[in-house]
Structure 1
Amino acid sequence: MTMDIDRFQQIRVLVIGDLMIDEYLWGRVDRISPEAPVPVVAVERENHTLGGAGNVINNLTAMGAQVSAIGTAGTGKAGRMILEKLKDSGVCTHGIISEPDRPTTLKTRIIASSQQVLRIDREVRRPISPETLARLKDIMTGMMDQVDLIIISDYDKGLVTSELVAHTVDLARKHGVLTLADPKSLKFDKYARVSVLTPNQKEAAVAANMDITCQKDLFAAGESLLNTVALDRLVITCGKHGMVLFEKNAAPHVIASRARQVFDVSGAGDTVISLLGLGLASGASFLDSAVVANAGAGIVVGKVGTATPTMAELKKVLDGKE
């Protein structure tokens, strides 16, 4: 494989998606509660990171890419935290707007002895208002001359509507910009005509209305989605088994996982779509870009919590030094 990943620093990326805060409470368990058969976690420390589409942004900025964001954030503490963290990372935030009665999604994970004990979600899941949609479309239209790549990070919280995706794809095609989408909605027709769709195996099975029990089933589901969703390229991620690439008029290509030890798979899909997009936008082939994305995913699942690979870590893996 020949790819200069230092070129990622030249890529200008627009991330459209559901922004949220991941809160981690770290502690230890040394007894069971007398009130119920559950562990008592003595919290020792806590930290907050960008989650959802924010984790895609984290992956991109870790590679040195220039990032702008389109989304919503609440007016409370979590919303302010999103804007502060994005600005600290050098991300353009003028595409982030507030909508009345839509607080920022906050996911709290309680971790003890490197294991997640519980997750608590505080969120609102409903489509954005017509007024918000119109504002976001106008903002996006004005940014297209400064964009090399668009990543749609859909966590099915209501921001990524069919109308927003259609507008994005139309704009991107007009300006010759790649669009990659990571779906959470199981109605894949919403993502029609994106450059690449990156579902996991479970999502692909539901969208294709098929049980996937073997590689033959997986290949059939992928080919079905290529045709029914009007896609040119598709990547189905398969956890510890790696990923499979699908492309019009080509045989499926399997890429084996590079993870040596799996601690936490949360956020691995964000790493895949980020590195895949950067590879394609820098002029690399579909296969080479996917190999880099797979290597990045192998790094992050070996870390506890939602994480990103560093440029140094990625280079080591790609050079076969780790």
Structure 2
Amino acid sequence: MTKPPLTLYLAAPRGFCAGVDRAIKIVEMAIEKWGAPVYVRHEIVHNRFVVDGLRDKGAVFVEELDEAPTDRPVIFSAHGVPKAVPAEARAREMVYVDATCPLVSKVHIEAERHHQNGLQMVMIGHAGHPETLGTMGQLPEGEVLLVETPEDVASLDVRDPEKLAFITQTTLSVDDTVEIVAALRDRFPAIIGPHKEDICYATTNRQEAVKAIAPRIDAMLVVGAPNSSNSKRLVEVGRRAGCGYAQLVQRATDIDWRALDGITTVGITAGASAPDVLIDEVVDAFRAQYDVSIEVVETAVENVEFKVPRVLREPA
């Protein structure tokens, strides 16, 4: 039987970013250096396939530090942790490695600097997300106020409207953040923003690539985990940019083929914690059902690389 023709538009960049790549390498190198098991506080990155793969190699994932024994190394996830976590690890005399993405660490340093200058912080982010918890946990209670929407700005109770600065979660929708920043500047004209955009290069690049392909396609699939902030934002960006149907899928088995019935063009992208193997799996699933032609739509070239901590580069 003849397969119907279908054009797949592959967004580029897509998939792993430098921070995720570094975090996974840190776990692998720790296992290589110290042997299994190595404990990881929280999912190292938000992707079940990646986490399961590391678990098979000897990583043990725990939610809190007190679940890990003191005689085994522990790694902190790429999302960052509150200051209290490394302090607890030192108090328990644990060997620990911090896999926080350097771009998240930059936001932590920025918050600390503003705090030292007597400013109260406003964080634009998602309540309960590990990165938000980690960033807010850099400063004493009450020093960071969280806003999720422009509406939240109206109800902010600040100490001094003349002494404020804002920071953002690195994985937000660029467009949504612009609206919240505008609301903050409108209500607090003296508020200080970051020297350089907090939303990371990878998040921005993946959103721009989605915007470039959205008007050309009938449907879009974003390969990523349901607890991945940047992946969920890609779905929202695709819909907002004119794509009528956008779906988040963890694996090819999640594709809703009935919803794609009759389409001729599909866009594929992936969140920053989704490995190439899962993207290839989705492409192969389409090849099995359609006569596929592929077009790559590249809007940026990424050549960022972050070094792993020195402790892992030194011999055991």
**TM-score, length basis structure 2:** 0.28
Larger strand fraction of residues: 1
**TM-score, length basis structure 1:** 0.27
Pair member with larger Rg: 2
